[in-house]
C-alpha cells in the first residue's frame, strides 16, 4: 500500500503536520545546502536529495516520523571514496556520485526485499560511536578552510590539518567572523530549543551582511544563485568499469544507511507497542536514493535530528515531510537568486556544527564507565577513520566489530557450575557465595552455541575442569541452558569427547537443553543418539539423581 501513513487520516492531525513541515523545511534548507557542499556537488542537488528522498519515503515507507534526505554521516564516505577515483570538481565527478546513489539505492532495495536489515545489528555501539566520531573529525577539518577563508590544502587529513595551522596567520577575518557567527547562532538556537532553526537564522544574517557590506570584495567567497529551473531526469553515465570500482564503496555506504535507519526506526517507532518490520522502510530509503541519482543528486539516508524534530513538533504522518518539500519549492522558486549572497564560510559553520554532533561525548563517556575494555573499540575505530582514507577506515572499523563478535562466539564465557547451598539450583560460583561441589561430579556449562568456531575451545575447557577436579570424576553433566544451537562441527567434537570420557569410565549426561532449535539440531547432528535419550534431563539435580542411582 502506498502512502501507508496517511491511511485513516484525521482532520485533527493537520495542524501538527503543518507545523512540523514548516520546521522541517527551515532546518532542511541550510542543512541540505551544506551537505551538497560536503558532497562536492552543486548546492541545489542537496535540495533535490531532500525533496525526492522525502517524497519517496512518504509514498513507500511506513514510519510516521522518519525524515529522509542528504545526510552528513554517509556523504563524507561516498565523497571521499569517489574522490579517490576522480577529483571533485572534474566533469566526471557528478556522474559518479549519481551512479553511486543509484547503486546504493538498489542495494537498500534488495536488502529490504530480502529482509536482511539485521546485518546492521552486527555492528556494536562502541564501533559505530568511534567511526561516527571519525567522520565528524573529517567534516570539521574539511570545513575549516572555508571558515578561515583560505584555499583547502591537499593531502591526508593530518597533513591538511597541519597545513591549516601553518596558514592561520593568513586567515580572512571576515570569513572567520561569518563562519564563527553562524556556528554560534546554530549552537545557541539548538541549546534553547531544537525546533529553533538557528542554522537558517545564521545563514540569512550572513547573507544580509555579505550584501550590505559587499564582503565579496573583501575576499569572502559566495555560493552563487541557485537555478530556478526543475532538474532533468536521466541516467548518469554508466560503464561496468565504474560499477566495479564503486561496489566496495556502495556496500559500505549501504551498510551505514541500514545501521542509521534501524537506529532511527527504533528510536521513533510509529507504534511503540508494536514495532513493525523495518524492511519496507529500508526499501523506501533505497527508492529515495535511486530517485536522487536519476535527478543528478546524491544518496540519501534517514536523518536522526530531523526525525526527532518531526516527532517533537507534533507530526502525525508523512504529510509533514510533503509540506516541507512544498515549502522548499516555494522558497527556491521565489528566492533562488538570494543564494548569490550566501557566504561559503556560513555553510562551513553549519557543517562544523553537524560534524561536531557526530562526536557523541555522552555515549563515549557511558561506554568508558560501563563498557569495560570496549572503550578501546571506540578509540581504535576513531583512529582508523581519521588516519586512513575514510572509506577504508570505516571498512576496517566494521571489521573490528565483526572480529569482536567472532571473539565472543569463539571464546564464550563457559565454566563450572556449583550447587547453591540448601537448594537444588546449580549456578556459576561467586566469590561471596562459592557454592558446594559434589565429590566426583563436574557440571560444565557451555554458555554459547556449540559451533565450529568454539567447539575445540569448549572441549579443552571441559578437559581442564575434569583434570583439575580434587577427586576422580565419575559423572560429567553438561548444563546446556545457554546453548541455542549446535552445528555439525560442534556436535562432532562433542561426540568425540563424550566417547573419550566414557572410555575412562565417566558417565555423561546433558541437562536443560531447553531451546527448541538446539534440541532439533542435537537430534539432527546425532548428538542425541550419541549420548542416548536416557541421558538427557530437565535439570542437573535430576541428572545426578538418575546417574547416582
pLDDT, position 339: 87
Residues 192 and 304 reside in one and the same domain: yes
Q: What is the DSSP letter of 411?
A: S
Residues 280 and 380 reside in one and the same domain: yes
User: Residue 121's pLDDT band (boundaries 50, 70, 90)?
Assistant: confident
* CATH label of the domain that carries residue 482: 3.30.750.24
CA distance 136 to 146: 16
Query: What's the whole-number mean pLDDT along residues 242-259?
Result: 93
Query: Which of 373, 407, 441 is the endpoint of a domain?
Result: 407
pLDDT, position 443: 95
pLDDT at 530 over 70: yes
Query: Which of 407, 424, 457 is the endpoint of a domain?
Result: 407
Residues 397 and 430 reside in one and the same domain: no
Show the domain range for 109: 4-407
Q: Which residues pair with 415 in a beta bridge?
A: 445
Summarised one tens digit per residue, pLDDT across range 357-378 is 899 999 999 999 998 889 999 9
Residues 385 and 434 reside in one and the same domain: no
Single out the residue of 202, 206, 224 nearest to residue 215, CA to CA. Answer: 206
Query: What's the whole-number mean pLDDT along residues 461-480?
Result: 94
Residues 149 and 250 reside in one and the same domain: yes
Residues 359 and 292 reside in one and the same domain: yes
pLDDT, position 334: 84
pLDDT at 275 over 80: no
Q: Which residues pair with 222 in a beta bridge?
A: 343
Residues 29 and 149 reside in one and the same domain: yes
Is the distance from CB of 442 to CB of 418 less than 8 angstroms? no
Q: End-to-end distance of the chain based on CA atoms, in angstroms?
A: 64
User: Residue 523's pLDDT band (boundaries 50, 70, 90)?
Assistant: very high
Query: What's the whole-number mean pLDDT along residues 139-155?
Result: 88
Query: Which of 386, 407, 428 is the endpoint of a domain?
Result: 407
Residues 349 and 443 reside in one and the same domain: no
CA distance 485 to 491: 10
Query: What's the whole-number mean pLDDT along residues 460-483?
Result: 94
Percent residues over pLDDT 90 in the chain:
67
pLDDT at 2 over 90: no
How many domains does one find in the chain?
2
pLDDT at 183 over 90: yes
Summarised one tens digit per residue, pLDDT across range 377-425 is 999 999 999 999 888 898 898 888 888 888 888 888 888 999 988 888 8
CA distance 205 to 217: 18
pLDDT, position 494: 94
pLDDT at 335 over 90: no
CA distance 264 to 462: 43
pLDDT, position 548: 82
pLDDT at 537 over 80: yes
Percent residues over pLDDT 70 in the chain:
99
Q: Find the helix packing angle between 173-192 and 198-212, rounded to 10°.
A: 150
Residues 61 and 192 reside in one and the same domain: yes
Label each residue of 327-369 as H, E or C.
HHHHHHHHHHHHHHHCEHHHHHHHHHHHHHHCCCHHHHHHHHH
Summarised one tens digit per residue, pLDDT across range 12-27 is 999 999 999 999 999 9
CA dist 349 to 10, 97, 114, 225, 307, Å? Answer: 40, 24, 41, 19, 22
- Within 8 A by CB and 6+ apart from 309, the residues are 20, 23, 24, 27, 67, 194, 195
User: Residue 549's pLDDT band (boundaries 50, 70, 90)?
Assistant: low
Summarised one tens digit per residue, pLDDT across range 53-99 is 999 999 999 999 999 999 999 999 999 999 988 988 899 999 999 99
Residues 267 and 213 reside in one and the same domain: yes
Residues 19 and 51 reside in one and the same domain: yes
Query: What's the whole-number mean pLDDT along residues 91-115?
Result: 95
Average pLDDT over the chain reads: 91
Query: Is 0.75 surpassed by the pTM of this model?
Result: yes
pLDDT at 239 over 90: no
CA distance 270 to 275: 7
User: Residue 116's pLDDT band (boundaries 50, 70, 90)?
Assistant: confident
Residues 435 and 294 reside in one and the same domain: no
Amino acid at each position: 500500500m502506498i502512502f501507508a501513513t496517511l491511511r485513516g487520516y484525521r482532520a485533527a492531525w493537520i495542524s501538527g503536520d503543518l507545523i512540523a513541515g514548516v520546521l522541517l523545511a527551515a532546518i532542511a534548507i541550510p542543512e541540505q545546502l551544506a551537505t551538497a557542499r560536503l558532497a562536492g556537488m552543486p548546492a541545489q542537488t542537496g535540495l533535490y536529495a531532500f525533496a525526492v528522498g522525502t517524497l519517496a519515503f512518504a509514498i513507500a515507507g511506513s514510519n510516521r516520523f522518519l525524515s529522509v534526505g542528504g545526510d552528513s554521516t554517509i556523504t563524507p564516505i561516498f565523497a571521499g571514496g569517489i574522490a579517490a577515483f576522480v577529483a571533485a570538481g572534474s566533469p566526471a565527478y557528478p556522474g559518479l556520485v549519481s551512479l553511486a546513489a543509484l547503486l546504493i539505492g538498489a542495494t537498500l532495495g534488495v536488502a529490504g526485499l530480502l529482509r536482511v536489515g539485521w546485518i546492521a545489528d552486527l555492528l556494536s555501539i562502541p564501533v559505530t560511536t568511534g567511526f561516527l566520531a571519525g567522520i565528524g573529525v573529517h567534516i570539521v577539518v574539511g570545513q575549516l578552510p572555508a571558515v578561515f577563508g583560505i584555499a583547502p590544502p591537499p593531502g591526508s587529513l593530518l597533513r591538511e590539518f597541519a597545513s591549516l595551522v601553518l596558514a592561520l596567520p593568513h586567515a580572512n577575518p571576515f570569513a572567520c567572523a561569518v563562519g564563527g557567527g553562524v556556528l554560534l547562532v546554530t549552537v545557541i538556537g539548538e541549546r534553547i530549543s531544537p525546533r529553533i532553526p538557528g542554522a537558517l537564522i545564521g545563514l540569512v544574517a550572513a547573507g544580509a551582511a555579505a550584501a550590505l557590506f559587499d564582503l565579496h570584495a573583501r575576499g569572502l567567497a559566495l555560493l552563487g544563485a541557485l537555478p530556478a529551473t526543475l532538474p532533468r531526469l536521466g541516467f548518469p553515465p554508466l560503464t561496468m568499469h565504474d560499477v566495479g570500482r564503486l561496489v566496495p564503496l556502495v556496500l559500505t555506504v549501504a551498510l551505514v544507511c541500514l545501521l542509521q535507519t534501524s537506529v532511527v526506526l527504533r528510536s521513533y517507532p510509529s507504534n511503540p507497542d508494536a514495532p513493525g518490520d523495518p524492511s519496507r522502510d529500508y526499501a523506501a530509503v533505497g527508492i529515495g536514493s535511486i530517485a536522487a541519482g536519476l535527478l543528478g543528486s546524491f544518496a540519501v539516508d534517514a536523518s536522526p535530528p530531523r526525525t526527532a524534530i518531526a516527532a517533537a513538533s507534533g507530526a502525525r504522518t508523512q504529510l509533514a515531510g510533503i509540506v516541507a518539500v512544498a515549502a522548499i519549492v516555494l522558497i527556491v522558486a521565489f528566492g533562488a537568486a538570494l543564494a548569490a549572497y550566501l557566504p561559503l564560510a556560513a555553510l562551513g559553520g553549519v557543517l562544523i556544527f553537524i560534524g561536531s554532533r557526530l562526536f557523541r561525548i555522552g555515549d563515549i563517556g557511558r561506554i568508558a564507565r560501563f563498557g569495560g575494555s570496549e572503550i578501546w573499540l571506540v578509540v581504535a575505530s576513531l583512529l582508523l577513520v581519521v588516519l586512513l582514507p575514510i572509506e577504508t577506515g570505516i571498512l576496517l572499523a566494521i571489521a573490528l566489530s565483526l572480529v569482536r563478535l567472532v571473539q565472543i562466539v569463539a571464546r564464550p564465557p563457559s565454566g563450572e557450575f556449583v550447587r547453591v547451598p540448601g537448594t537444588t539450583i546449580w549456578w556459576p560460583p561467586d566469590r561471596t557465595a562459592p557454592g558446594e561441589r559434589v565429590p566426583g561430579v563436574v557440571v560444565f556449562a557451555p554458555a554459547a552455541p556449540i559451533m565450529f568456531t568454539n567447539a575445540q575451545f569448549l572441549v579443552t575447557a571441559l578437559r581442564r575442569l575434569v583434570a583439575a577436579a580434587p577427586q576422580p570424576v565419575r559423572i560429567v553433566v553438561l548444563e546446556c541452558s545457554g546453548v541455542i544451537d549446535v552445528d555439525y562441527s560442534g556436535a562432532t567434537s562433542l561426540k568425540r569427547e563424550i566417547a573419550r570420557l566414557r572410555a575412562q569410565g565417566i558417565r555423561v549426561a546433558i541437562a536443560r537443553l531447553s531451546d527448541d532449535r538446539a534440541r532439533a539440531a542435537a537430534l539432527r547432528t546425532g548428538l542425541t543418539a550419541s549420548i542416548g535419550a536416557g541421558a538427557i534431563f530437565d535439570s542437573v539435580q535430576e541428572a545426578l539423581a538418575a546417574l547416582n542411582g
